[in-house]
Chain A
Amino acid sequence: MLFAIDFFTRRLAQGAIIVVAIALLIFTLLRVVPGDPVRLMLGPMVSATVAEETAKELGLRDPIIVQFGRYIGQVLQGDFGRSFVRSAQGGSTGGSRGESTFDASNRAPVIDLIATTLPYSLLLAGLAFLISLAVALPLGIWAGLNAGKWPDRLALYLSSILVSLPNVWLGLVFIFLISAKAGWLPAIGYQNWTYAILPALVLAVELIPVIVRSVSVSVSSNLLEPYVSVGQIRGLTRRRMIIAHVLRNSSIPLLNLLGIQAVGLVLGALFVVEYLFNYPGIGLLMINAVFQRDFPIIQAIAIFSCAALVVVNILVDFASTTIDRRLQY
């Protein structure tokens, strides 16, 4: 119990520092690149004086560190700022309409945008995890228990092929074959949950080889641990040793993998896949924000995904120490 308090206090503090550092990095990056955000908000038509006034009003001429401090202050109160280009009603307004002044109140708050898109992304990611675990766990365990024999080879070839399929290409092939030609599943946009299946499949193809490899390696190496053969001399069956001990202990590397690699992978691939399928999740929001240079959205999503990774990591490490008490973090 004390250990848990100690663990979480320490790790959450470290995690907070990491998130702030990442936020500072992204924040700085977005402000040193060429391109004046004011122009993005107001469009090219307004006069230089108006633009300068707006910029001063919004604090965009202050030193970066001051701006960052203000931003963090707002974030701590749950305010991630407002989009530069999206109106509160939805849809994109912005520069092209050439308004003479910038009225912040009719721009959508970033937090609302994220709140509306997040559930879609969670559905997609959840589905992808479900599919890939359902396929990869049995395959990986089977390969690990038969290390060096044909199931192991099969798993190796299969994962080598799957990991070689670029997700953008695979997505297009799925759209073309499964949706456009065969008409089995819908693909573009979102109307009901079936729209999430194809993109989830693409994500799963990316996840499966990673999981298969990790599971088969850890199962086969755990199987070689002396306690497994000693257990059989002690009078326990091989079956019992595998189910009660080998699989249990193999779950630690799997947890680590799911925590660090898989969540990172899905977060990354999510953006591409959502863009590809025009799926209205947080990834599409991000990519459109990049095209429109909508900095508040980019910042907020970067901070969110970073924080998500940090939290997942902490939870995974805690679960690992609970399973194997030798581990210390």
Chain B
Amino acid sequence: MSQQAIVQPAPGKPAKHRSLGANIFLQAAGAGEFRIGAVIFVGVILLSIIAPTLLGLSATKFNVGLKFSPPFPVEGWVWPHFFGTDQLGRDLLVRSLIGLRNALMIGIASVIGMFVIGSAIGMVAGYVGGWTNLILMRITDAQMSIPVIILAITILGVTRPTPLTVILVFILAGWPGYARIARSATMSERRKEYVRAAKILGATDLRVLLVHIAPNILPPVAFVAVLDVARMMIFEAILGFIGIGIQPPTPTFGTIIADGTKYLLNAWWITTIPGLLLAVSLCSINLMGGALERSRNKILQGVS
């Protein structure tokens, strides 16, 4: 880099007119890991939309005669139950796909929630500074001092968990992280000359925050939030496993895996196969998120 810095850029090269967010996205989209992730992700989503109707299967219908049917290549599997069936003869593929859909919805909804709340609070704290900053940041300190799981266990363990309470708990646990990032980004942005210039022109604080600062700091944060969707999906599975997530009969990965533990030795697939699907989906999200994070780091550090 130091070598590049001392060489003047070639003159006459037309600059590309794109926003920061588009630049990050396009650079990430060029990376191999992003493409692999995207292909897998789209495949899994399509599968979860098409497969249940195509195979004509239901997630909740029992068929005791078909119980403990093993998955596809294992001897004794029954068409069309590629993933096998559970102790009640329910099809595991469809149950997993619906679980995936729920997990994804909860993951996305909670990340959007924590992103919006966290960024808003962080930007205000970073911009206003002084006491507001101090108090808000000590609150996030406090919040971050409780492990997510303890908070979730405490709240969900003593109330009745519904999808909404699960999302709310995740938002409650996750916003401080976003507040911190938004705060430090705002603080460094606030010192930049163009913000000073806008204030000298007479722009109000709200206008400076919304028109000038937000479009510059939020896209990079939003891209990295993709990684958090995957994290929240794991948390959702954990809560379901402990029994304080979304309650049966709605299938979630957590409940499916927990059901399977009793039969781990004789019907290992009930636990492992749906978990594998979850892991593959998460991996696709993480590959995309990782690529976005790297291209963000590169662009923000000015290495191109």
Contact = CB atoms under 8 A, between A and B. Distances in A.
A30 B237 contact: no
Contact of B145 (A18, A272, A287): A18
* Closest 3 pairs (CB-CB, A-B): A169-B275, A164-B282, A290-B157
A280 B281 CA distance: 33
Nearest to B230: A164
Nearest to B173: A268
Contacts of B238: 166-168, 272
Interface of A: 14, 17-19, 21-22, 25-26, 29-30, 33-35, 153, 156-157, 159-161, 163-169, 172-173, 175-176, 180, 217, 221, 224, 226, 229, 260, 264-265, 267-269, 271-272, 275-276, 286-287, 290-291, 293, 298, 301-302, 305-306, 309-310, 313
B153 A173 contact: no
Contacts of B33: 153, 156-157, 160
B1 interface: yes
Given A272-B242, A306-B146, A169 B157 contact: no
B138 A163 contact: no
Contacts of B242: 272, 275, 287
11 contacts: A18-B142, A18-B145, A33-B159, A35-B158, A160-B286, A163-B282, A164-B280, A169-B271, A180-B265, A221-B301, A302-B146
A269 B149 contact: yes
Contacts of B141: 14, 18
B146 A169 contact: no
A275 B149 CA distance: 13
Interface string B124-143: 00000000000000100110
A286 B301 contact: no
Nearest to A217: B297
Given A22-B142, A156-B33, A166-B275, A267 B147 contact: yes
B153 to A, nearest CB: 5
Contact of A224 (B1, B154, B268): B1
A168 B142 contact: no
B46 interface: no
Contacts of A175: 264
A271 B149 contact: yes
A157, A164, A180, A229: most-surrounded residue (chain B CB, <10 A): A164
B241 interface: yes
B147 A160 contact: no
B230 A165 contact: no
A219 to B, nearest CB: 13
Contacts of B241: 168, 272, 276
B261 interface: yes
B149 A173 contact: no
B241, B272, B280, B287: most-surrounded residue (chain A CB, <10 A): B241
Interface residues of B, number: 50
B138 A14 contact: yes
B185 interface: no
Interface of B: 1-2, 33, 138, 141-142, 144-150, 153-155, 157-159, 230, 234, 237-238, 241-242, 244, 253-254, 257, 260-261, 264-265, 268, 271-272, 275, 278-280, 282-283, 285-287, 290, 294, 297, 301, 303
Nearest to B254: A168
A164 B279 contact: yes
Contacts of B268: 176
A166 B147 contact: no
Given A156-B33, A302-B146, 6 more contacts: A14-B141, A160-B287, A160-B290, A166-B275, A168-B257, A172-B275
A271 B153 contact: yes
B115 to A, nearest CB: 19
Contacts of A226: 2
Nearest to B276: A169
B158 A302 contact: no
B154 A26 contact: yes
Given A164-B230, A166-B279, A226-B2, A290 B154 contact: yes
A322 B268 CA distance: 52
B154 A166 contact: no
A30 B1 contact: no
Given A160-B286, A293-B158, A21 B142 contact: yes
B257 A163 contact: no
A8 B230 CA distance: 37
Contacts of A157: 33, 287
A302 B142 contact: no
Nearest to B37: A160
B142 A305 contact: no
A18 B134 CA distance: 13
A173 B154 contact: no
B243 to A, nearest CB: 8
Contacts of A153: 33
A161 B33 CA distance: 12
A218 to B, nearest CB: 11
B74 to A, nearest CB: 15
A92 to B, nearest CB: 16
A169 B154 contact: no
Contacts of A168: 237-238, 241, 254, 257
A35 B160 CA distance: 12
A303 to B, nearest CB: 10
Contacts of A17: 138
B177 to A, nearest CB: 10
Contacts of A156: 33, 290, 294
Contacts of A271: 147, 149-150, 153
A291 B257 CA distance: 19
A13 B280 CA distance: 46
B254, B268, B301: most-surrounded residue (chain A CB, <10 A): B268
